[in-house]
Chains A and B, each alone.
Chain A
Amino acid sequence: GAGVSQSPSNKVTEKGKDVELRCDPISGHTALYWYRQRLGQGLEFLIYFQGNSAPDKSGLPSDRFSAERTGESVSTLTIQRTQQEDSAVYLCASSLGGGGGASNEQFFGPGTRLTVL
């Protein structure tokens, strides 16, 4: 597709269940980011993948959160034993490469709204 896509767009789950969120980056983009956006707040960095390098997991809030990426394509963010505090919009972004500047502009997907009851 032309842009970053995410699925599902909305997910409602019960506390304690596991959820998987999917991100399809723009084809050819080597860098992929996951962010969390709580209601009325800014984006909170979660994890970053760049090519074949080890991912930067420094933003993951707990060991209940994990993410994988298959090569330079699809990524899944998994939240185990969900808690109500996990309710947020989870945004994925991709860029041609890592680092700053216009050439590495991050293109964002529409997000997955997760509600934990």
Chain B
Amino acid sequence: GEDVEQSLFLSVREGDSSVINCTYTDSSSTYLYWYKQEPGAGLQLLTYIFSNMDMKQDQRLTVLLNKKDKHLSLRIADTQTGDSAIYFCAERIYSSASKIIFGSGTRLSIRP
């Protein structure tokens, strides 16, 4: 089946690193994505990784993919108050050009 799971909440102190985890079930995933949703706004693509990669770094963001365990993580270095949002993990499955399966989202809150 197709399923993407994430923990619902994460709280970190400002300046620390945040690590948001995600597991997926479909082994035929081609692309895996991280989206950010701020209050009252649409989803914004943060970063993505192709399934034949195991790591991707983009400024403060590091994506790690463990394909064997079907585990994806997003690390945000030096977390700032502007990083407060809901982060969605998503996978594009090979069998469908159109369908992207989203997780339920992790709400990241920042403590001063």
Residues of chain A having any CB pair with chain B under 8 Å: 4, 31, 33, 35, 40-45, 48, 50, 56, 58-59, 91, 93, 98-102, 105-111
Contacts and interface: CB of A to CB of B under 8 A. Distances in A.
Contact of A42 (B40, B42, B104): B104
Nearest to B29: A100
B87 to A, nearest CB: 11
B99 A48 contact: yes
Given A106-B45, A109-B42, A110-B42, A100 B99 contact: no
B104 A100 contact: no
A33 B99 CA distance: 9
B52 interface: no
Interface of B: 4, 8, 30-31, 40-45, 48, 50, 88, 90, 92, 96-105
A43 B37 CA distance: 11
A33 B45 contact: no
For the complex of A and B, 10 pairs with smallest distance between CB atoms: A108-B42, A48-B98, A100-B31, A42-B102, A43-B102, A108-B43, A42-B104, A56-B98, A100-B92, A98-B97
Contact of B105 (A31, A42, A56): A42
B30 A58 contact: no
Given A42-B104, A43-B88, A99 B97 contact: yes
- A56, A59, A106 — which one has the most chain B CB atoms within 10 A of its CB? A106
A55 B44 CA distance: 24
B50 A45 contact: no
Contacts of A42: 4, 88, 102-105
Contacts of B44: 108
A41 to B, nearest CB: 5
B45 A4 contact: no
Contacts of B42: 4, 91, 93, 107-111
A101 B101 contact: no
A58 B99 contact: yes
